[in-house]
Copies of this chain bind each other. A is one copy, B any other.
């Protein structure tokens, strides 16, 4: 096992499972902290602010700083700021996204935006979706925080951001720039923020289709943990394998 200088770590399925604790997660984080290895959580969730995520982690005995949480919304705001400082954006999204954009100086507008930015919005309307379609056709750059089509809840599957992203693509014929996993973009932005070269870092997660693929696309080594979505058996069917796969995170530092 290589001596990684930094870890990017998924949340659901890796640090906790919905509302349940994953017993090996807090020990893994404590080990990183005691070794002074910088790490960052990377999550496709675009509605929650980092503050809310830090609070959630605390409930599972995991102590992190708000600077150690990279959400798809923060990454999207970083991405736009780097591409076009003082950009304007028409936004479909919740507070996690609007706050992130405003903190990076991106002005949220209702007319002639430079960007159309879409994250999950549980107050979405036909009118907002229609306006997004028209702005994209008029040349605004189409950026999506994350491409998750469906989100599991106690009641069943509900539409995720990707369902609306696909709708706008189907109407306009224009593909979005996707920032969240399985795109490698969010991981690159997280590593930039940490100041760590890609070859010294590793991506840790349970879901091959999001976490591991994003790590591979970002050019990172990857650590698959079998506490979440992708089982060890399912893993074998994929062409490009993660660098490592382990049953639980307690195996890693032993």
| Smallest beta-carbon distance A112→chain B, Å | 13
Find the B residue at minimum CB distance from A151: B171
Stretch at the interface among A9-17, A54-62, A133-141, A212-220: A133-141
A111 proximal to B (CB < 8 A): no
B134 touches A127 (CB 8 A): no
Given A126-B122, A134-B158, A155-B134, residue A171 in contact with residue B167 (CB < 8 A): no
Known contacts A166-B167, A170-B166, A171-B163; A122 and B133 CB within 8 A of each other:
no
A159, closest chain B residue (CB): B171
Q: In this complex, what residue of B is CB-closest to A160?
A: B171
Is A125 among interface residues, defined by CB-CB distance under 8 A? yes
Cβ contact within 8 Å between B122 and A127: yes
A95 CB within 8 Å of chain B: no
Per the bound structure, the CA–CA distance linking A163 and B130 in Å amounts to 11
A122 to B129 Cα, complex, angstroms: 10
Asked if A124 and B126 make an inter-chain contact with CB atoms under 8 angstroms apart, the answer reads yes
Taken residue by residue from 147 to 186, chain A's Cβ proximity to chain B (1 for < 8 Å, 0 otherwise) reads as 0011000011111100110111011100000000000000
The answer to the question of A123 belonging to the interface, with a C-beta cut-off of 8 Å to chain B, is yes
Asked if A121 is at the interface (CB within 8 A of a chain B CB), the reply is yes
Q: Judging by beta carbons under 8 Å apart, are A159 and B167 in contact? A: yes
Residue of B nearest to A137 (CB): B156
Distance in angstroms from A122 CB to nearest chain B CB is: 5
A129 cross-chain contacts in B, Cβ below 8 A:
159
User: Can you name 12 extra interface pairs (CB under 8 A) apart from A126-B159, A133-B156, A163-B171?
Assistant: A121-B126, A130-B158, A133-B159, A134-B155, A137-B156, A138-B156, A150-B170, A157-B171, A157-B172, A159-B167, A159-B171, A164-B167
When A and B form their complex, which 10 residue pairs have the shortest distance between CB atoms, in order from nearest?
A124-B126, A137-B156, A150-B171, A130-B158, A163-B167, A134-B156, A159-B171, A122-B126, A167-B167, A134-B155
